[in-house]
Chain A
Amino acid sequence: MAYAADCDTRGPAATAAARPVTLKILVAGGFGAGKTTLVGAVSEIPPLCTEELLSGIGADADPLDGVDTKTSTTVALDFGRITLDTGHVLYLFGTPGQERFWFLWEELSAGALGAVVLADTRRLADCFPAVDFFERRGIVFVVAVNEFDGGHRYTAGEVREAVGLAPGVPVVHCDARLTGSATAVLAELVHHLLSTAAPAVPAQPTDRGEPT
């Protein structure tokens, strides 16, 4: 869709000051991996859940066998907001990472800074499609292992090997319920974006801000 024509990113200073830059980070992961929780932990507004209609593509892929009352097919979007300062507002979108929702991800990815892939080590395979999606499109992401109570703790290296991640992709542990921990995941993503961007920057931040 052609929104670019309306986006005066190089516009006059007055306009730029009045309208903060819209920053977007996607939060992907399988059902129950903690997307809603993470968005809720960092959002300054009550986390909202909207629904997007699944288009014909999604409806075709939806198995209807054995489903009695399939009236509508929608996908839930968790939505949160963080006002960083007067000029920067960060929005978060969380939605399931299954392949059939990829058409939605295409739209959501437009203008996105990067993505957080939430992984539940009890169902690690659930995060594979999201990893695949971001890898193929060159969207920078970090993998955040949500530490569930009672779940077996895997090291970052074990998760990296199991998912088959490229060496540069950070794997961090987090507790998606905690604001500090969830914020640190976002900071890790932005730090990773900075370090993967053009190396012509004199001062690289030293503190990785890695969640514990």
Chain B
Amino acid sequence: MIRARAVPGKGAPREPAPWLDDSAGRVVRPYTASGGRTRPAVALDLLSSVTATGARPRAPLGAEHTAALRLCAGAAAVTVAEVAGQLRLPAAVAKVLLSDLVEAGAVTASAPRFPGGGGPYAAADDQTLLQAVLDGLRRRL
């Protein structure tokens, strides 16, 4: 069963909750939003950042696409994972929606800048980077 998990604390504004039924759960199945598709046409990482271009797609958008586009139109770039979480959709569905928006020219996506290019444990030889991260964390202590 697909279920939007209530998250405690820090009550910031979120997207309106999907249409949920207490006993039946989500009324509209998540993959309805993506037309049953699970594979996006554009390769997206969970940490790819997505930004609205301001261009309006020619074809009318569905409700979920519109909601996704709205999230991309904020002042700061958001990640694919944030869009999925805000829309309470599985990441695979959010990727399909965002991929559609990229293809329609409404959103640009940029791959995450991982240190060292993306392999696991890639940054471990980057002392300067690690020190910056450590300093940043300790400032928060």
A interface with B by C-beta (< 8 Å): 1-4, 6-9, 16, 19-24, 36, 40, 42-43, 45-53, 69, 71-72, 74, 76-77, 79, 81-82, 84-85, 87-88, 90-91, 93, 107-114, 137-140, 179-180, 183-184, 186-187, 190-191, 193-194, 196-198, 201, 205, 209
Q: Within 8 Å CB of B58, what residues of A?
A: none
Asked if B41 is at the interface of the complex by the 8 Å CB criterion, the answer is: no
If over half of A's interface residues share one DSSP class (helix, strand or loop), that class is named, otherwise mixed; here it is mixed
Q: When the two chains form their complex, are residues B120 and A194 in contact, meaning their CB atoms are under 8 A apart?
A: no
Most chain B CB neighbours (cut-off 10 Å) among A49, A85, A113, A114: A113
Contact with A along B67-78 (1 / 0, CB 8 A): 000000000000
B81 closest partner in A (C-beta):
A79
- Specify the chain A residue showing the minimal Cβ separation from B129: A21
Give, as a whole number of angstroms, the nearest-CB distance from A27 to chain B: 14
Closest to A197 in B: B124
Chain A residues positioned under 8 Å from B38 (CB to CB): 53
**Distance, CA A69 to CA B24, complexed state (A):** 12
Contact A22 B141 (CB under 8 A): no
**A26-B129 Cα distance, complex, nearest whole Å:** 18
Q: Is B116 an interface residue (CB 8 A)?
A: yes
Which residues of chain B come closer than 8 Å to A209, judged between CB atoms? 138, 141
- Shortest CB-to-CB span from B71 to chain A, Å, is 12
Footprint of A on B, CB under 8 Å? Answer: 1-2, 4-5, 7-12, 14, 38, 43, 45-49, 79, 81-82, 84-86, 89-92, 94, 110-127, 129-141
A3 and B133 contact, Cβ closer than 8 Å, known pairs A48-B86, A51-B91, A187-B141: no
A181 CB, nearest partner CB in chain B, Å: 10
Contact (Cβ within 8 A) A21 B134: no
Given contacts A1-B45, A24-B47, A137-B120, 15 further A-B contacts (CB under 8 A): A9-B113, A9-B117, A16-B113, A21-B114, A21-B129, A22-B47, A23-B115, A48-B85, A84-B136, A111-B120, A113-B115, A137-B121, A183-B141, A187-B134, A196-B124
- CB-CB under 8 A for A3 and B45, given A113-B123, A139-B120: yes
Q: List 16 A-B contacts (CB under 8 A).
A: A7-B114, A9-B115, A21-B114, A21-B115, A48-B81, A48-B85, A49-B4, A50-B81, A76-B5, A79-B85, A81-B79, A108-B46, A110-B118, A114-B121, A179-B140, A186-B137
How many A-B pairs have beta carbons closer than 8 Å: the answer is: 203
Q: Which residues on A sit within 8 Å (CB–CB) of B94? A: 50
For the complex formed, measure the closest distance between the CB of B24 and the CB atoms of chain A, giving whole angstroms: 11
Instruction: Give the distance in Å from the alpha carbon of A57 to the alpha carbon of B38 in the complex.
Output: 16
